[in-house]
Structure 1
Amino acid sequence: MHIREMLSDAERTGHPSFSFEYFPPKTAQGVQNLYDRMERMYDFGPKFIDITWGAGGRIAELTLDMVVQAQAYFGLETCMHLTCTDMGEEKVNDALRKAYKAGCTNILALRGDPPREKEKWVATEDGFRYARDLVAHIRKVYGNHFDIGVAGYPEGCDDNKDEDLLLDHLKEKVDMGATFIVTQMFYDADNFIRWVGKVRERGITIPIVPGIMPIATYASFIRRANHMNCKVPEKWMTALEPVKNDDSAVREVGKVLVAELCRKIMAAGIVHLHFYTMNLAQATRMVLEELDWMPTTTRPRKQALPWKQSLALGRREEDVRPIFWRNRNKSYVSRTQEWDEFPNGRWGDSRSPAFGELDAYGVGLTGTNESNRKRWGEPKSVRDIATLFVRYIEQDIPSLPWSEAPLTAESDSIKDDLIKLNQRGLLTINSQPAVNGVKSTHPVHGWGPANGYVYQKSYLELLVAPELFPEVVRRIDAHPDLSYYAVTQSGKLTTNTPFEGPNAVTWGVFPGKEIVQPTIVESISFLAWKDEAYRLGMDWAHCHDANSPSRVLIETMMNQWYLVNIVNNDFHQPRTIFELFDGLAVKDIGVPVTVPLPISGPQVNGQTNGIHEGASTSIGAASRDGAAATVTACV
């Protein structure tokens, strides 16, 4: 979606909106941390984000990677900065091609700062000298595909303080095809409002987006203000100086000052604010809370579907997704992007030959071995693992190998049931409660257009110990409303469903529309998810040293336990799916037993490293000299 269309919507509705800027971090870990932060800040409700551009080399490539991540995996409408610095025409065209392929439809075209080693800005050979030239080139090559933003300078820029000349340059950029203006940061609202008047006097009518820098610490505030040569009102210094050594107090004072600035700007007729986050969340969140713009339970962030929609090229119309990837959005999108049948207006034919591919980025477990051991400890029994799952449900830890983010408020109604299951060693990795026709504006379960109603079948996906599996199946088969799929890592699919087609587990009914069924369960996609689910478990096991009790325990479970999903097709009965497990628990949970060590080298009984499918939890694997090699752990 073009930014000018977003701004037009805000003007028409009278609802203020905002956006965030991020920059590429310098380290790999910093990049991963920023992706996590971007995904969390998605829930703040920005209309779009923008990603700054590094002058050539690794940082420029990282900008492009971040645009792909934001558009495709996080569902964030993204504006990509593009500068003339160190960029010949071929490099510019390559960057634009990649942005286009990522589904990006917005570019902020800038001249850019000179490289660090140069005192003055010099055009690259075969490059563009001014931002207006870059704007003209983008418009010539891509027509109206990209909305093109340009910079505005209410207080002048580094190498030019002549306001009239800068306004002349701004008019030239607009005449070349620019469609919106983003300003440099400022803290003087009166001067900004005066400057907007001067812009309009020049006949420039395109939207102006003011750049706002929240205050995180006193030192960073002063440093950035000095760097940008922006005026700080005396009132601000008077308020901040007494608390400058207390970062918490600075943020509290700063949020009030910045919110007051925002209100003055909005009162002058501006409908959208752009926050320079400096890759930090807290100070920006505090300003939004002070303005009462953050989503709340009574004012939720509006979503078109009950999952994050990809904005990658060709995926914007996707409206059906298997439930198995509810907690691994990035993995699902990356795995399906090369399916030759995708997209086709729905979820796609899962029988693509590329369906089972596990080499796509985002499938495996993220984080270093050390960080994952710190996060999830070193379990030595099923009880330890069950306790870990309970801690996740109680939000004591933010993630599990199968769930990248904390539980949402949707799980509150079944939280106690999930805790009881996991305490008994029935390890739940995905679930949803039954919903019987709540309004589409419901603060927790709502999605889609207004004045509609949404429904859900209760769903449960869990790891089941082999000794419990036959009884679980017997109970399911005795209940006419329950359907299931079950499989082990190397076993065949077991199911009671009479057909292979999709079973809708979420649907919505809206005025003037067909019934929308955005979340499904079906066999082929479950088998693809099975590969990923067991891969994640094995990745977790390999965070621990070979032959350690934790590694042996987790590998044993991945080799022997069943992955089971159950749907209660009667959405009027929310408790049935949990009553199914009454009285069931892993036998002797936490009691030490003898389990085999993984054997490297030649195969043993047709199996290579690890424990073969169907083995008991107390067998010994043959060692190289024929003796039993065992280790005591708890399974």
Structure 2
Amino acid sequence: METPNISIEFFPPKTPEGAEKLRVARQKLAELQPKYFSVTFGAGGSTQQGTLATVLEIQSEGHLGAPHLSCVGGTRDSVRAILNEFKSHNIRRLVALRGDLPSGYGGAGELRYASDLVEFIRLETGDWFHIEVAAYPEMHPQAKSPQDDLQNFVRKVQAGANAAITQYFYNPDAYFQFVDNVARLGVDVPVVAGIMPITNYTQLMRFSEMCGAEIPRWIRLKLASFGDDSASIKAFGLDVVSQLCEKLLAGGAPGLHFYSMNQAAATTAIWQRLHGTQAAA
């Protein structure tokens, strides 16, 4: 069986040391031959220049880079300027998101939702960009209901999105149910599964609380039982996430998008586990 189609996400480093660590991690992760590397931004687009600089460095190394673009707090003019800058650097892929309001921030901006952003990108740039949007198998934490969340996703696709990347999750049934639900609503774009390696229990709990990702009770209890034994946490996390990826790929997921946290080891270990399993299949 062929190697799974993967992509890998980074965040823009804030210090020279962080930038150097990311270069080292990226060099190792490039060996996995990901389809592209995506680069996030801060609340309200606060690291947009850092995002672009990281994407340009990725491109200079011969890889495909995809910046994340947020519309929250922005204007049509400011988004247009960013799109033109991306085009000037021959960036052809981006991840379009509403984004989170920074604390103390007043309004949402001229483009209120990701569907508005996607529609604006298409009006301004035609089919120049391959646009990825977010999907939430366990429901966006701010959605009114699961049905409302599905309709929001459909609007993003109808506005012109090419594909979607999910929030991370550990229950494969949530993913398959989401894909079935949107298919029934007439949506057939690829929905790539977002994968968060498990390497740190406290960090995982904090992230999951913020983004509304469910950690199944059996996983939480097992991780908590390891205390400060980081080696056991990483070994258990590798087993859990590798098995999740195997189920997703076996069930027809079109790809895996790894939230690397600018680290190479965990994503590489999962990929090697999958590669070994699939090569033997």
Question: Is the TM value for this pair above 0.5?
Answer: yes
Q: Name which of 54, 57, 74 aligns with 2:61.
A: 74
Gaps of 5+ in 1: 1-12, 297-635
Structure 1 counterpart of 2:52, one-letter code: L
CA distance in 2, matches of 1:57, 1:181: 20
Q: Name which of 154, 157, 163 aligns with 2:140.
A: 157
1:92, CA displacement in angstroms?
1.0
Q: Name which of 6, 14, 25 aligns with 1:26.
A: 14
After superposition, the Cα gap between the structure-2 partners of 1:156 and 1:57, relative to the gap in structure 1 and judged at 3 Å, is closer
Aligned to 1:209: 192
Q: Give SS of 1:291's match.
A: helix
With CA pairs under 8 Å and 6+ residues apart, which has the higher RCO, 1 or 2? 2
Structure 1 counterpart of 2:171, one-letter code: D
Whether the 8 Å contact between 2:6 and 2:34 is mirrored in structure 1 is yes
CA distance in 2, matches of 1:223, 1:88: 31
Whether the 8 Å contact between 1:84 and 1:128 is mirrored in structure 2 is yes
Structure 2 length normalisation: TM-score? 0.92
1:61 aligns with 2:49: yes
1:103, CA displacement in angstroms?
2.2
Whether the 8 Å contact between 1:148 and 1:178 is mirrored in structure 2 is yes
Whether the 8 Å contact between 2:242 and 2:273 is mirrored in structure 1 is yes
1:262, CA displacement in angstroms?
0.7
CA distance in 2, matches of 1:168, 1:202: 9
* 1:199-598 correspondence to structure 2 within 5 Å: 199-292=182-275
1:85, CA displacement in angstroms?
1.7
Percent of aligned positions with the same letter in both sequences? Answer: 33
1:61, CA displacement in angstroms?
0.7
Provide, for residues 182-236 of structure 1, a one-character-per-residue CA deviation record: whole Å limited to 9, x for no partner.
1111111112211111111110000001111001112112222222222222332
Structure 1 counterpart of 2:271, one-letter code: L
Whether the 8 Å contact between 2:68 and 2:96 is mirrored in structure 1 is yes
CA distance in 2, matches of 1:43, 1:67: 18
Aligned to 2:40: 52
Provide, for residues 382-417 of structure 1, a one-character-per-residue CA deviation record: whole Å limited to 9, x for no partner.
xxxxxxxxxxxxxxxxxxxxxxxxxxxxxxxxxxxx
Q: Name which of 196, 209, 220 aligns with 2:179.
A: 196
CA distance in 2, matches of 1:69, 1:56: 23
**C-alpha RMSD over aligned residues:** 2.1
CA distance in 2, matches of 1:198, 1:57: 31
Whether the 8 Å contact between 2:133 and 2:165 is mirrored in structure 1 is yes
Gaps of 5+ in 2: none
After superposition, the Cα gap between the structure-2 partners of 1:271 and 1:39, relative to the gap in structure 1 and judged at 3 Å, is same
Provide, for residues 306-362 of structure 1, a one-character-per-residue CA deviation record: whole Å limited to 9, x for no partner.
xxxxxxxxxxxxxxxxxxxxxxxxxxxxxxxxxxxxxxxxxxxxxxxxxxxxxxxxx
Whether the 8 Å contact between 1:16 and 1:272 is mirrored in structure 2 is yes
CA distance in 1, matches of 2:237, 2:223: 8
Structure 2 counterpart of 1:68, one-letter code: L
1:122 aligns with 2:141: no
Q: Give SS of 1:292's match.
A: helix
Aligned length: 278
* Structure 1 ranges of 4+ moved more than 6 A: none
Provide, for residues 431-452 of structure 1, a one-character-per-residue CA deviation record: whole Å limited to 9, x for no partner.
xxxxxxxxxxxxxxxxxxxxxx
Q: Give SS of 1:254's match.
A: helix
CA distance in 2, matches of 1:200, 1:228: 24
CA distance in 1, matches of 2:151, 2:272: 38
1:237, CA displacement in angstroms?
2.8
Larger C-alpha radius of gyration, 1 or 2?
A: 1
Q: Name which of 74, 82, 91 aligns with 1:95.
A: 82
Aligned to 1:111: 98
Whether the 8 Å contact between 1:82 and 1:109 is mirrored in structure 2 is yes
1:57, CA displacement in angstroms?
7.0
1:49, CA displacement in angstroms?
1.0
CA distance in 2, matches of 1:293, 1:111: 38
1:63, CA displacement in angstroms?
0.6
1:178 aligns with 2:161: yes
Q: Give SS of 1:45's match.
A: coil
Q: Give SS of 1:151's match.
A: strand
Structure 1 length normalisation: TM-score? 0.42
CA distance in 1, matches of 2:133, 2:61: 25
CA distance in 1, matches of 2:234, 2:206: 16
